[in-house]
Chain A
C-alpha cells in the first residue's frame, strides 16, 4: 500500500512538473512576444528607455517628470535631442537602474533628475516596483542588482518564463488591442489636457493641511537605502562630468521645508556637476489650480510654462559647469 502510494505520487509529480514546465514556457513565450510587440503605452516607453535611449538630454523621474517637461519645447530651447524617460509611480532606485542601462550605451550631455519631496521617505513600494525591470533582465545584466532589491529569491523565481510578466497582462492586452486609441508621446512627454476644478483644489488644500500636520508629528525616518541610490546617481553623473539638474518641479501647494527636502538639497549641493532647483514654493504655480491637471501634476498650460522657464534657466546656467 505504502509503495503503491509513493509510486503513484512519484508518477503524478513527474507528469505535473513536465506539464508546469511546458505550460510555463508557452505562456511565458506568448507574454514575452506580446510585451515586446507593444508600440505605445507605458511598457513600450519603458522598453524604449532601457533599450534605445541615446539622446543628448535625458530627463529622469516619476509621472511628474513625464507630465512636467515638454520635450518639444525643451528641444526647441535647448537644441539637440532630448528624451523624457519619466515613469509613473517610480522612485530613485528605478532612475538609477535606467541610468545604468543608458550609460552603458551613451553618455548624455545633460541630465535632468526630477525628484519628489517624498523620494527618500520610507516606502517599500519603490523597491517592489522595480519588478517593472524583470522583462529586461536577460538582455541587461546590469539590472541584476536592482532585481535583487525586490526580494532575495528573485533569481529563483526567474526560472519561470512567465514570472517576469506577472501583472502585465491587462496593460499589455489593452495597449496591444487599443494601440490606435492610445495617445502618442512626444519624445517621452505626455501632456495632461484636463484642468483641476476649484472645488477639487479647495478639498485638496483642506486635506493637505491636515496631512502635513499629521506627517510632521509622525517623525518618519529616512529611507537610508534610497539616499544611497540618490548618491549613487549623482556620483555617476559627477564622475562622468555630466551637467545635471536635480529639480523639485512645481507643486500645487507650497511644500513645507521637510527634513527630506532639505537632505535632497544638501546632498545635491555636494557635487560639482549638479545643480539643485526647487520650484515647490514657486508662487507662479502654488495655488494656481488652472495650471494643474490634478493634485500632483501640471497640465499642458502649466507644463508649457514650466518647460520654457526651466529651459531658459538651463540655457543661462549651463556654461557655469565648465
Chain B
C-alpha cells in the first residue's frame, strides 16, 4: 500500500477516525492491527520475519535490563546477530554468493551454493535498524525495557514509518504510545498540510523528473553528456522529493493522531559543505550511524588518520545499507572521501576565508553551495546507475557535454519538469531563508486556505498519478 495511492487514503481515513473514537486502552491494538494490515498489503508472509525479530528483541530488552556484566553483553550480541542475520540473509546473501561465484569461477572451481529467489521484505533495513536501536539503548541504560508486548511491537511496526522511516529512537517514540492523544485541530490540520506538501513533492516533482531520469539512466549508451548532466541534476532533486516527500507524509499522518516523529530532512541542497549536507539529509539514518557506529569506532577522539578510516568505513557501510550492489558501496565511499578531503582542507579553507574576509560573501557562499551540490550530484550517478559499468558509461558520456540534450518524449514533459523545479525551489528557498514568509501557516486565513487549495490543484493538474513506489521502499 503506497502512500500515493487511493488505497492508502481510505486506509488512513479509517484508521485515524477509529483512533479517535476508540477508548484509549484499545488504541494500541488498533494501530498495531492497522500496521500489520498495512505491511501485509505488500507481501503478507513477510510479517512473520518481523514477528520473529520482534519476539527476540522484546525478550532481549527485558533480559538485558535485568542482567549485568557479560550476560548483558551476550544478550545484546544475540539480539544484534538475529537482526543483522535476517538482514544478511534477505539482503546480502545473493550479493555475497554472486561474488563467491565470481571468485570461484576465476579459480576454476564451481560454486554449488544456490541463490535465494525470495524478494527482499519491504523496508527491512529500516525496521531492523529501529529494532537494533532499541536493544542498544536498553543495553546502554538510556531506555527502559518495554514490558507491554503490543506496545513494543508497535514501536517497530508503527505504520507511518514502518517501511521507509524515519528510523526512530525508543526515547523519542516509545513513551508516546503510552500517552493519550486527544483530538487536536492544530495537529490534524498541520499534519494534513505536511502530508499534502509531501504528496506535492512526490507526485509533482519526483515522479515527473523520474520520467526523464529513467529514460537516460536505463539507456546510458544512447545519451550524450548534456543529457547525463540534466538527468543527474533531476535525479538529485527526484530522490530528495521522493524520500523527503515520503517522510513528510509519514510525519504528517502520525501527527494527525498526535504522534511526533523526528525530522528527517532539512532542505539539504542549501548546504555549503558535505558535512552540513549530511546533517540535513536522512537525519534519522545519519544520526543512527553516528551514534551506533562512528562513535563506537572512536568518533572524533582518535588520531586524524584513524578518524579518516572511520569515516570511510561508516559511509561505505551506509552505502551497503542502501543496497547489495557495488554502486551503493561506491556511492558511500565517494561520500566518505568527500568527508576526509573536507576535513584535511578545512583549516586551509577557513584560513583563506578569514584572510580574504569572505565568510559572509554571497558569491563565496553560493559557490560553496554549488560545489557541494555538484559533488553530491556526481555521487548520485553511482547511486542511480543500474551497474558500475553503466555509471562509468554515463560519466564517459560527459565528454560530449555541450551537445543538444535529449528533451524527453516531447517538450511537454520537459516543461513540466521545469515547472516542478521552479515551484519546489521557490517554496524551499522561502522556507530556508525567509521563514517569516509562510504560505501554509500564514497569519491571514485566506492565504492559508488559498495556498493549501492551490497546492492540491497543482497536484491534480500537474502531478503524475501513476508514478509508482517510493525509491527508498526497496531498501
Residues of A bordering B, CB below 8 Å: 1-2, 5-6, 8-9, 12, 16, 19-20, 23-24, 27, 31, 88-89, 124, 128, 131, 150-151, 153, 156-157, 160, 162-163, 165-167, 169-171, 204, 207, 210-211, 214
Partner of B185, one of A9, A20, A124: A9
CA of A250 to CA of B162 in the docked complex: distance in angstroms?
51
Shortest Cβ distance from A209 into B: residue = B221
Partner of A165, one of B184, B415, B461: B461
Task: Check A153–B466 contact: CB distance below 8 A.
Answer: no
Please judge, given known A-B contacts A162-B457, A207-B221, whether A19 and B449 are in contact too, CB under 8 Å. Answer: yes
Shortest Cβ distance from B409 into A: residue = A89
CB of B104 within 8 A of chain A?
no
CA of A308 to CA of B444 in the docked complex: distance in angstroms?
68
Task: Check A211–B221 contact: CB distance below 8 A.
Answer: yes
Task: Check A6–B219 contact: CB distance below 8 A.
Answer: no
With a cutoff of 8 Å between Cβ atoms, the chain A residues found around residue B453 in the complex are 16, 19-20, 23
Task: Check B183–A5 contact: CB distance below 8 A.
Answer: yes
With a cutoff of 8 Å between Cβ atoms, the chain B residues found around residue A16 in the complex are 449, 453
Task: Check B465–A20 contact: CB distance below 8 A.
Answer: no
CA of A20 to CA of B415 in the docked complex: distance in angstroms?
26
Task: Check A88–B409 contact: CB distance below 8 A.
Answer: yes
Report B41 CB to chain A, min CB distance, Å.
13
Shortest Cβ distance from A15 into B: residue = B449
With a cutoff of 8 Å between Cβ atoms, the chain B residues found around residue A166 in the complex are 460-463, 465
With a cutoff of 8 Å between Cβ atoms, the chain A residues found around residue B230 in the complex are none
Report A314 CB to chain B, min CB distance, Å.
31
With a cutoff of 8 Å between Cβ atoms, the chain B residues found around residue A128 in the complex are 466
Please judge, given known A-B contacts A19-B453, A151-B466, whether A88 and B460 are in contact too, CB under 8 Å. Answer: no
Shortest Cβ distance from B7 into A: residue = A153
CA of A24 to CA of B419 in the docked complex: distance in angstroms?
21
Report A66 CB to chain B, min CB distance, Å.
12
With a cutoff of 8 Å between Cβ atoms, the chain B residues found around residue A9 in the complex are 183, 185, 188-189
CA of A256 to CA of B398 in the docked complex: distance in angstroms?
29
Please judge, given known A-B contacts A2-B183, A19-B449, A19-B453, whether A214 and B221 are in contact too, CB under 8 Å. Answer: yes
Task: Check A160–B460 contact: CB distance below 8 A.
Answer: yes
Shortest Cβ distance from B214 into A: residue = A125
Report B256 CB to chain A, min CB distance, Å.
11
Task: Check B6–A157 contact: CB distance below 8 A.
Answer: yes
CB of B407 within 8 A of chain A?
no
| Interface residues as binary, B416-455 with A (CB distance below 8 Å gives 1, 0 otherwise) | 1001000000000000000000000000000001000100
Partner of B415, one of A24, A27, A170: A170
Task: Check A167–B219 contact: CB distance below 8 A.
Answer: no
Partner of A171, one of B184, B412, B449, B466: B412
